[in-house]
Each structure stands twice: as C-alpha cells, then as structure tokens.
A and B are shown apart, each in its own frame.
Chain A
Amino acid sequence: MAGYSDPHFDTLALHAGASVDATGARAVPIHLTTSFVFESSDHAASLFNLERAGHVYSRISNPTNAVLEQRVSALEGGIGAITTSSGQAALHLAICTLMGAGAHIVASTALYGGSHNLLHYTLKRFGIETTFVNPSDMDAWRAAVRPNTKLFFGETVGNPGLDVLDIAQVSAIAHDNGVPLLVDSTLTSPWLIKPFEHGADLVYHSATKFLSGHGTVVGGVVVDGGSFDWERSGKFDELSQVYAGFHNMVFSEESTVGAFLLRARREGLRDFGACMSPHSAWLILQGIETLPLRMARHMGNTERVVEFLAAHPMVSRVGHPMLESHPGHALAKKLLPRGAGSVFSFDIAGSRAQGQKFIETLQVFSHLANVGDCRSLVIHPASTTHFRMDDAALRNSGIGPGTIRLSIGLEDPDDLIEDLKRALKAAEKAGAAT
C-alpha cells in the first residue's frame, strides 16, 4: 500500500498485517497448525538462529497471531507485539522479560484486582517486590524509586474510580530514573488513547475486552513502542548483555529498537508458554475490524447513561471523568478527548440490600464479572466480588454498599436508560419496605 500519507486508524483496523494469500481468501485465514514444514535442514537451522524470518512452532509464532500482533501494533503506534493467552499473561510476560528476583516495581494503586494480586502476592513469592502509589501523586512515584527499580506500571484509567493516569508526567519520572513505563490500556483501547504518544514505553491489553468486543474469547497482547533505550538505561542486562539461553545473543545489538520483543518471544513464549490459540487470534481480529464503530457507540451510550444517572435522585455519585465532579475531569479532557471509557461505577443512595434489588431487577444489563462486551454488563461488588467485607472494609477499598459497576454496551441507549430507571425504582421501593 504505497501512498503519500500515514494510513488512518479505521483503515489500519481492517487491513494492518493482513494480505491476500495464495488461496485468494479475503478474510484472515485461521492457521490451526502446531508447526510449519522446513524447506531443508539449513532452512530449519536458519529459522532457529534468527537468520531468516518465518514460523517454526505455534507457541512461538503463528501466521494468524502475527496478523493480530501487527494490527494492534499499528493501532497503538508501536513496533510490534506478542499475543498471549490472556491479559494477565501479557502482564506477566512483560514483567518477566525485564526482570527477575531482586527487582522492584513501582505501580499505581488503581489497578485491576488480578494485576494487584500478581504484583502484591505472587511475584513477591518469586522475589519481585512492588511499591504501590497513588497514581496522581507524582512525588509518591519519585519517592518510591529504589536502586533496583526496573518498571513503572499503571492503567490508563484505573480501577475502581477511573483515576486518569498522567502518562506524560509519570513516564518522565520513570525515564529520569532509567526505567520504562508499562501501561494497561484495556479499558480505553487505542481508539480512546494511544499511550505511546504520551510517553509510555510498553502497552498491554486484555484483548478479552474491547479489542475482541463480543465476550467470546480470552486473550492478551503486549506492544512495544520501540522508544526505550535499554542500553543507555544501564539497568537491563537482560537485554543488553550476552544471553546464554539464546545463541549468546545480545538483544540490543541485534535490534536497536526491538530488543524487548526479541527476548519476550524467544525466551518468554518459548519457556513460559502462555501463547494464544490462532482461533482466539482470529476472533479478536474480527472484533478489531469494527473497533472504531463499536467504540464510538460505546462512548455515545455511556454519555447518555452517565447523564441520566447523574440527574437521578436515587444516585448519590457517578464516578465518570466526563463529569466535572470527577477529580480526573480536566486530565481526561486533555488525554481522552473521545471519552474516558464505558466502564464506570456509581453509588445508589441506599443499603446493600437495595443494591442487590437493583441488580436483580435489571433485564437488559447482564449480571456477570466482565467488562468491554458489546452487551451491557453490571456487577454489585458488595454482594459479589467483595461480599465477605463489612461496610467499613468496603469503604477502605473505595466501594460503598450501594456501589454498582457498569460496562455500557451497544444496545439502544433508550432501552438501557429504561432498564436502569426501572431497577432504580425497585431499589427505592426496597428501601421504603425495610
């Protein structure tokens, strides 16, 4: 596609990484094969030794996955990507490519619970420690840095309150200390923000959410922006010194900008093995083809629902940065001009029982533990994920007895509002009855 200007987002969402193959198939074929035939012994040796490009074994790479990897890279403005079995696997791959026991991470407190578990409990068991800081407190990021710090980590809009990460400021602090910034961009997708443009160095997604968009597949992808100078940092022997585990390669010599991806694929996928099925890659590609259309609709519907909830007397708080009352409003306007996502929480002015009644009355919203589906979703943390906590413990987690999390889907917004209106009425009545 020779041209005179950069291809635009909507074109890349459909075409990046995909070409018509020898069969003439227009859609991306699913290459359900574990392995690929070598032309000769020399060809085999050359593939293993990174002398020629190609596929060997689908744990390391696969043609369908490669299309997805290129496509997400293109949409993010990165240099390449690696697909993984889940978003959690992408986070693990990024971290374990860059460090081992004795290393330290500075991370935002506003994280998905699974990420917090990995950092706070699991990685600690393997000798990697994490200091958690308020993502808006730049002094806290600075103060948390230790000599062995190797990574800053945060979410574009963090759980549960949609704290907007000031990527430019946090990445500047990271870079001053010779470490990269890894950003979880799951809740925003590249349609809302491209973290590399603001200074992030690595980005990952749970592709399970908005990228696939249909609640049908679990997968992850980690993207390298190619901007971080691993050699200059001096902190990453993993990338800038001889690695006996792969042909005595010095990854930063092999590739001036792609050392991270080289090691992540040649070591991480090879040894940890959390690869994505080509079938999953295909499903996610199907989703990405309509990402721009879906995200526009997600945001339009979210705006309508937020406005409705903010004006409703049974709602005491709506935690979305589009509202001036949200602490991240000004930053969101700057970083996320198309909106700060369609996953947010609000508080019902009432008891835990009223929250339950609200949930049980909803008909269009599905009560389940996921976000980023084309269908609207709802969960009541006090009666599900956090049901063992008393009200005081809930408050410490930023969750009230009536806190509800919504993921706004693609239905007709009038039907969503009608559903919410009816459920709020039922919750109100439940309060009057007690």
Chain B
Amino acid sequence: MKYQVQGTSLYAYTGGKAFNPAQPTAVFIHGVLNDHSVWILQTRFFAHHGWNVLAIDLPGHCKSAGAPPASVEAAADVVLALLDAAGLERAALIGHSFGALIALEAAARAPQRVSHLALLGVAYPLRVSAALLEASVSAPEKAIAMVNVFSHSMLAPPPSALGPGTWIYGASRALMRRVLASNTDTNVFYTGFKACDSYTGAEAAIAQVQCPVLFVLGNADQMAPPKGAQGLLKLAPHARTAMVPAGHQMMVEAPEEVLAALKQLLR
C-alpha cells in the first residue's frame, strides 16, 4: 500500500490484509540497507491476529520514493507523518537497529501517539567506525560483506524467513545489494549509517516515552551488542527485555523467539 507522506510516495506492506479501522495498528521500521521484507513472518502473523500492519520502506528505499532520511529525527518525522496520512491517532512502533532509533525518537516527539514501543537490536550510541562509513561509499560490496558477517551468528538457523531452505546469510546479502541498488541518486548505505552515528538524542528521547517499552536483544549480536543497550535500559526502568538466541538479524535468525517477545508486548 502506498501513502502520500511529506509530499512523496511511501510504501507500507500490510501483511496480506486490508486495513481495518476497528483494529490497532503496528508500524514496523527496518534498519540500514533493509526494507519491509525483513519482517515478513512477524508482520504476517500480526496482520492475521487482530492488528493492522504497516511495514514501511523508508523514503528512498526500494518501493518508497523521496530522499532517504539524513537523520534519525528526520526519519521519525516521516513515521509520524505516516500516522497522519493513514488517519491514525495512535500506533505501536516496532523498529530494528536504525529503525529502533527512529521508533524511539518518534515516540519521544509524540508520546501520546505511540501505544507500544519495541526496540530490536538497539544500542546507544550506535557508532559506526570511520572505516566502515568510508567503505560504504568507496567499496560498498566490501562493506556489505563486513556488515553481513557481523549481522549473523550462525551457519544453521532454524526454519527462518522465508522458511525452510533459506540460506539467510546469502539472503541478507542479496537484500542489502538490492536496497543499495534501489537508489541511484543517494547512497542509502552511507546515509543510514551516518544517521545512526550522528544521533545524540536517545537518552533524552527515552525519558519522554510514556508507553510500554520492550527491548529485544540478540545474545550474539556483534553489530549492536546487548551491553550497548544497558545505558538506555537504565533510563527506562519499566521496560521489559527479551534476550533471543541470535545475532543482529534476529527477525530471520530467531523468528519464533522474536515473535514470542512481540506477542508479549502487543497483547
């Protein structure tokens, strides 16, 4: 489904179901060089279990037009503008990595509009090394290989998205290549990483959040190790934490555990 958001077309996958105004809505926000499809299992589940689902492609990524957001704050404004465009008073926000920072910032900017907040694979500060930032521009294929290795923790995931027979190591790499190629004007790899690296508002943001908060952390996450979330957790004493047996790409490496955690939040 496409919405006009900030004057441009924004794509949101709905999990195979039409929008039902009587249901609550969950917005899923992907990370750097990902798109809506990293949420395929979780989004289809909630779409068929009482929720409207809007799994977006961030602006400038894959099916969404416009310029990719240059900052977490700008991306948060896109998410809030999407709620306006969809006619939603409130929604649950579920974000992964860069998307988690976006969801957090959006929840801080409009606390009354966010019913639940799930932060997956999040760390703060989410620093990106100068070498990786540079490689994302000068040698993106090399940088993709580096990020891919750091994002996976196993050579033998259980049945994962897309289901049995999927080699997620290769699928993640193919998706990153596809997302990078989807924007020939702006390097969304660099833009996304730079936005993560530059974000300084998470501690202030989490103090503003009023809704139930869930952290979903991967016990083998090398991109955003669980210890990197401890600072935020201290500032959110009522937040719940689910530790899942996975690396950074936890939605595909541990889809059942991630789903179980989200079900606890989105009751």
The interface of chain A, by Cβ under 8 A from chain B, is 1-7, 12, 15-19, 45-46, 49-55, 61-63, 65-67, 69-70, 73-74, 77-83, 225-227, 229, 247-249, 253-258, 261-262, 265
Contacts and interface: CB of A to CB of B under 8 A. Distances in A.
Contact of A50 (B44, B154, B156, B175): B44
B170 A74 contact: yes
Contacts of A67: 156
B256 interface: yes
Contacts, number: 157
Given A1-B154, A2-B222, A227-B177, A69 B165 contact: yes
22 contacts: A2-B154, A2-B222, A4-B150, A18-B156, A49-B44, A50-B40, A51-B41, A52-B259, A53-B162, A54-B164, A70-B167, A82-B165, A226-B175, A247-B16, A254-B13, A254-B44, A255-B40, A256-B35, A256-B175, A257-B37, A261-B166, A265-B165
Nearest to A42: B49
Interface string B169-187: 1110011011100000000
A341 to B, nearest CB: 24
B259 to A, nearest CB: 7
A79 B170 contact: yes
Contact of A261 (B149, B156, B165, B175): B165
Given A5-B149, A53-B256, A255-B162, A81 B167 contact: yes
Contact of B156 (A3, A16, A55): A16
Interface of B: 13, 16, 35-37, 40-41, 44-45, 48-49, 62, 145, 148-150, 152-156, 158-167, 169-171, 174-175, 177-179, 220, 222, 247, 255-256, 259
A265 B49 CA distance: 25
Contact of B166 (A4, A45, A80): A80
A55 B164 contact: yes
A99 B62 CA distance: 25
A52 B171 contact: no
Nearest to B171: A79
A12 to B, nearest CB: 7
Given A70-B165, A261-B166, A253 B155 contact: no
B244 to A, nearest CB: 14
Nearest to B148: A6
A38 to B, nearest CB: 14
Nearest to A71: B167
Contacts of A49: 16, 44, 48
Contacts of A61: 159, 163-165
Most buried by A among B167, B179, B255: B167
A12 B169 CA distance: 11
Given A82-B165, A254-B40, A226 B171 contact: yes
A52 B170 contact: no
A17 B169 CA distance: 10
Nearest to A61: B164
A83 B35 CA distance: 28
Given A3-B149, A46-B48, A53-B164, A70 B171 contact: no
B163 A53 contact: yes
B62 A256 contact: yes
Contact of B165 (A7, A65, A247): A65
A285 to B, nearest CB: 12
Report the 4 A-B pairs with minimum CB-CB distance, sorted nearest first: A226-B174, A69-B165, A73-B167, A19-B156
A2 B162 contact: no
A256 B178 contact: yes
Given A51-B44, A247-B16, A255 B156 contact: no
Nearest to B176: A257
